[in-house]
Amino acid sequence: MAQAGDPSEKEVTDTIVAPATPAGRGALGVVRVSGPHARRIAEEMLGDASPRPRRASVRVARRGDHALDRVVAVFWEGPDSPTGEDVLELTAHGSPEILRALVEAACAAGARPAQPGEFTRRAFTNGKLDLAQAEGVEAIIRARGARARRAAYERLEGGLSRAVAAARAPVLDLLTLLEARLDHPDEDISPLPDSGAVEALTLLRVPLARLLAAYDRGRAEREGLRVCLIGRPNAGKSSLLNALLGRDRAIVAPTPGTTRDTLEETATLDGLSAVLIDTAGLRDDASDAAEIEGVARAERELAACDVAVMVLDAARAPDAADARIGERALALAAREGRPVVVVHNKSDLLRDRAALSQGLAVSARTGEGLDALARAIAAAAGADSADEGETLLIGARDRDALASALEALDGARAEIAANPAAWEDRVAGRLRDAHARLGMILGEGAPDEVLRAVFSRFCVGK
Ligand SMILES: Nc1nc2c(ncn2[C@@H]2O[C@H](COP(=O)(O)OP(=O)(O)O)[C@@H](O)[C@H]2O)c(=O)[nH]1
Ligand SMILES: [Mg+2]
């Protein structure tokens, strides 16, 4: 028996109880109890002195002499249970009054009301699932739409955890190799040449970069693909936005420079939800402060979007400024890795189609080419790619960990360049860092504030 003040007593948790179903009325409602007193609570509420684990039994749940409801009771004996502790699950009629009375009866028998996410947190603490999977519990409950649901299920089943483990294993292999040399300099372990190390580090990046790309796709799916319309003033960006929306939202005017700010609207393009962003026209002779700021914002949108649509005016022969400005925008998009779809707008004014360089002919006025444009945007976003990472649900916490792991790997490469032939120690440090960052996705060594932040997003009863 643990004495008061005995450090091992910290390991003993109290017993928690909460309704596991929403507070409405329905056929069934579930109350869950988890912790060392679950067995005693079963005895007190159900008269079951030794409930058979994992067997459903029909019992009258009581508080003292009062019958509360006839319930189906299931008892699990820890550690082989959903939370790793003794668990009692009572399925009653779905009435908020009954569930409240059951929770109160459990509290009278020694439980306390659970905090948000506390059941899942205990499952995590007891090694039933890692942190990535624990977040999958929340995700699958919140998921809207079949794709989001599949991705959340995959995460809950350990899909992301396996991908992270697979990306991490070779990091550890390389680290072990370097450490063996560092720890035993006299032994006959052949050194890794600089070029071999750079190559190994470059290979380590690949799976991490893929997971990060999956994050971008997932975000686009959740929040809508960010599609920004860029081009010179008067090319018809605002008109195209209206045409794609099927209604007038942006101001269209024959005078160039009408759109000085950016404007966002959600639309469905080829079945994908998208956020269309109208921007101020790109120019290199912006004169007033508002114009200059408008161009700067347009460039920021271009750098941050998922797909850029470069709108050219098919009714006008391109001049030197068009070429300069177009090149600058394409270079920026290329540097940021943003796909660009080029369209020639005002195709209704065009007599000679053959004169068009590559790109789609569209008309905001007649609607010509708009369906093809929507398909081209979806294709450019990689929405139809059957990439393996596609089904992985990657959240902001994972993204940060992946990005800092990549940074550590890139730092390791920089160490080799900076200190040829004397980098092993520092590279080992960077690899340890990358390894630890990836472990954070799984919750390894996660400080209490991280765990609290993760589980506080859950509702009570999960
Ligand atoms: N004929 C024709 N005119 C268009 C088309 N798209 C836009 N315009 C006209 O071009 C001018 C500039 O359009 P706007 O959408 O404001 O261009 P923005 O400055 O790029 O946003 C307006 O007078 C529009 O009516 C089109 O497809 N065909
Ligand atoms: Mg405009």
Query: Can you give the residue ranges of every domain in the chain?
Result: 13-123, 131-200+395-443, 224-380
User: Of the candidates 263, 268, 260, which has an alpha carbon nearest to the alpha carbon of residue 250?
Assistant: 263
Closest ligand 1 atom to the C-alpha of 251? 16
User: Of the candidates 74, 78, 98, which has an alpha carbon nearest to the alpha carbon of residue 19?
Assistant: 98
Q: Which CATH superfamily is domain 224-380 in?
A: P-loop containing nucleotide triphosphate hydrolases (3.40.50.300)
Amino acid at 60: V
Q: Report the C-alpha dihedral over residues 196, 197, 198, 204, rounded to 10 degrees.
A: 110
Q: What is the pLDDT of residue 388?
A: 46
How is residue 131 annotated by DSSP?
H
- Determine the distance separating the centroid of ligand 2 and the alpha carbon of 333, expressed in angstroms: 20
Contact partners, residue 247, CB within 8 Å, separation at least 6: none
> To the nearest whole percent, how much of the chain has pLDDT over 90?
61
Answer whether 430 contacts ligand 1 (Cβ < 6 A).
no
Answer whether 34 contacts ligand 1 (Cβ < 6 A).
no
Answer whether 252 contacts ligand 1 (Cβ < 6 A).
yes
DSSP per position, 292-305: HHHHHHHHHHHHH-
Tens-digit pLDDT profile for residues 337-347: 889 999 999 99
What is the arithmetic mean of pLDDT over 325-337? 89
Q: What is the number of other CB atoms lying within 10 angstroms of the CB of residue 127?
A: 9
Cα(275)–Cα(238) distance, rounded to whole angstroms? 14
Q: What is the pLDDT of residue 186?
A: 76
What is the pTM for the complete model shown? 0.68
Answer whether 349 contacts ligand 1 (Cβ < 6 A).
yes
pLDDT bin (cut points 50, 70, 90) of residue 257 is: low
Q: What is the pLDDT of residue 355?
A: 64
What is the arithmetic mean of pLDDT over 177-195? 83
Answer whether 120 contacts ligand 1 (Cβ < 6 A).
no
Q: What is the number of other CB atoms lying within 10 angstroms of the CB of residue 427?
A: 25
Cα(18)–Cα(192) distance, rounded to whole angstroms? 57
Cα(120)–Cα(114) distance, rounded to whole angstroms? 11
Cα(83)–Cα(168) distance, rounded to whole angstroms? 27
Higher pLDDT, 295 or 186: 295
Contact partners, residue 460, CB within 8 Å, separation at least 6: 18, 19, 113, 114, 115, 116, 118
User: Of the candidates 156, 248, 237, 171, which has an alpha carbon nearest to the alpha carbon of residue 202?
Assistant: 171
pLDDT at 408 over 90: yes
Q: What is the pLDDT of residue 70?
A: 98
Q: What is the pLDDT of residue 227?
A: 94
pLDDT at 10 over 70: no
Closest ligand 1 atom to the C-alpha of 233? 19
Cα(149)–Cα(338) distance, rounded to whole angstroms? 28
Q: What is the pLDDT of residue 390?
A: 54
Cα(240)–Cα(128) distance, rounded to whole angstroms? 52
Answer whether 243 contacts ligand 1 (Cβ < 6 A).
no
Answer whether 236 contacts ligand 1 (Cβ < 6 A).
yes
pLDDT bin (cut points 50, 70, 90) of residue 188 is: confident
Answer whether 348 contacts ligand 1 (Cβ < 6 A).
yes
Higher pLDDT, 92 or 337: 92
- Determine the distance separating the centroid of ligand 2 and the alpha carbon of 378, expressed in angstroms: 23
Answer whether 279 contacts ligand 1 (Cβ < 6 A).
no
Q: What is the number of other CB atoms lying within 10 angstroms of the CB of residue 126?
A: 16
- Determine the distance separating the centroid of ligand 2 and the alpha carbon of 357, expressed in angstroms: 23
H/E run at residue 309: strand 307-313
Q: What is the pLDDT of residue 383?
A: 56
- Determine the distance separating the centroid of ligand 1 and the alpha carbon of 335, expressed in angstroms: 29
Handedness of CA 127, 129, 135, 139 (dihedral sign): negative
Tens-digit pLDDT profile for residues 416-460: 999 987 899 999 999 999 999 999 999 999 999 999 999 998 888
Closest ligand 1 atom to the C-alpha of 258? 19
Closest ligand 1 atom to the C-alpha of 364? 27
Cα(97)–Cα(105) distance, rounded to whole angstroms? 12
Answer whether 253 contacts ligand 1 (Cβ < 6 A).
yes
H/E run at residue 423: none
* Residue to probe by mutation, ligand 1, list 239, 351, 356, most atoms within 8 Å of CB: 239
DSSP per position, 432-459: HHHHHHHHHHHTTT--HHHHHHHHHTSP
What is the arithmetic mean of pLDDT over 343-353? 87
Closest ligand 1 atom to the C-alpha of 231? 20
Cα(76)–Cα(66) distance, rounded to whole angstroms? 25
CA 337 and chain centroid, separation: 20
pLDDT at 8 over 50: no
- Determine the distance separating the centroid of ligand 2 and the alpha carbon of 312, expressed in angstroms: 13
Answer whether 262 contacts ligand 1 (Cβ < 6 A).
no
- Determine the distance separating the centroid of ligand 2 and the alpha carbon of 245, expressed in angstroms: 15
Q: What is the pLDDT of residue 36?
A: 97
Domain 13-123 class in CATH: alpha beta
Measured in residues, the chain has a length of 462
Cα(260)–Cα(263) distance, rounded to whole angstroms? 9
Among 142-151, 162-171, 243-252, 335-344, which range has the highest average pLDDT? Answer: 162-171
Q: What is the pLDDT of residue 3?
A: 38
Rounded mean pLDDT of the chain?
88
Q: Which CATH superfamily is domain 131-200+395-443 in?
A: tRNA modification GTPase MnmE domain 2 (1.20.120.430)
Tens-digit pLDDT profile for residues 264-276: 888 888 877 889 9
